[in-house]
Structure 1
């Protein structure tokens, strides 16, 4: 996913993060300068749904307009199979050997 906040804000005439932060505060969402910077400059690792709802309200958009799918990145992450049907890039799973477990008491 690619975060599209700056483009959606620009479409509404919001060119600076401080202006966006002020409008969010007017709508009832107080965001710290650090969190606003993270939302404005990059892809946030997480965002509360309540916060996303206020952002969408301020920008007059839907959540899917703020997040753009990147299917090529998903395809690139998928492990590849070779001619002999082995998987390239997949982790090897090794079973752990340990004591046998007993059944719980009846």
Structure 2
């Protein structure tokens, strides 16, 4: 699946069953289904991409302190850009094109 196909899938009624846990979480985050995305991030705490997602989610909710903690856990600097741009950057780590 390409990034463009992933983005298009956000209009579907349900998350595609073939998605990895990270793509499922990103799919929910891309639809502003914060709690569902957060639950998945918490289930995979300690994995760098999930910790990055966790940071993004707390940034999205306006909790900069908590986001900073998760960026540190992920070994990443605080993202310098919009939340949407960060969501795309993280999604693109998992998808070609």
Question: Normalising TM by the smaller chain, what interval?
Answer: under 0.3
- TM-score scaled by length of structure 2: 0.26
- TM-score under structure 1 normalisation? 0.25
Q: Which has the larger helix fraction?
A: 2
Flag the structure with larger Rg: 1
